[in-house]
Amino acid sequence: MKVAIYIAMSANGQISNSRGVPDWLSPEYSSGFFEICQNTKAVIMGRKTYSILAPDYLPLKEEGTTVVLTTNTKAKPANRTVVFTDEGAKEIIAMLEQKGHTEAVIVGGAYAMTKFIEANLVTEIILVVEPALFGKGLPMFNDIEFTRNLALIGVTPLNSNTVRLHYGVRYE
C-alpha cells in the first residue's frame, strides 16, 4: 500500500506556530491538500487536525474514507466518510485495504504522522516548505528516537516563496 504524508512546514521544520493560527500557509499548499486527498480517496488524520477541519474543510465529503485517530471512538462523525478509530497503524492500513484502497495520505498532525512513520508504513513524504521561521512551534514528529533515509523524487517551486519537496522513504 502506498502511504504518503502531505504536510506544510516552516523553513525550520515546524508544522505549527505557537499561536496555532494557520495564516502562514500558502494557497498552493491548500489546493495541493485538496487535490492529493481527492486523488487518493483515503485520508488519515489525528483528531486535533480533524477538529480544525471539520465539518466545512474536510477534504472528502461524499466518497472515500477519512480515518480519524481518537480515543473517543463513539463521537458523531461530521460526514459519511469519517471513521473514528483507536486502532494501531497496521490495523488501520489493513482496514483501508479491506475497503479496496490501494493508497492513503496522512495529512497531520504530529501524533498521526509519528504513529505511521514509527510503524514503517510511510512510503512517500511531500513537504510544502513555507517562507517562515518559528522560534516556538510543533515539530513534525513527536519526540521519539528513529532515523529514516529518504530519496529525493522531485523539487517543485509552487510560487516565488514556497517549494514542494517530494521524497520516497527508503527501507532497504
Name the residues that contact ligand NAP, by CB under 6 A: 7-8, 15-16, 20, 22, 45-49, 52, 69-72, 86, 107-112, 138
SS3 126: strand
**Cβ proximity to ligand NAP, 57 vs 102, nearer residue:** 57
SS3 151: strand
Cα–Cα dist 94/161, whole Å: 39
| Least Å from the CB of residue 105 to ligand NAP | 11
**Cβ proximity to ligand NAP, 117 vs 172, nearer residue:** 117
| Least Å from the CB of residue 51 to ligand NAP | 8
**Cβ proximity to ligand NAP, 76 vs 171, nearer residue:** 76
Cα–Cα dist 128/126, whole Å: 7
CB neighbour class for 85 (10 Å; exposed up to 12, middle 13-18, buried from 19): middle
Contacts of 149 (CB under 8 A, 6+ apart): 169, 170
**Cβ proximity to ligand NAP, 41 vs 116, nearer residue:** 116
| Least Å from the CB of residue 163 to ligand NAP | 14
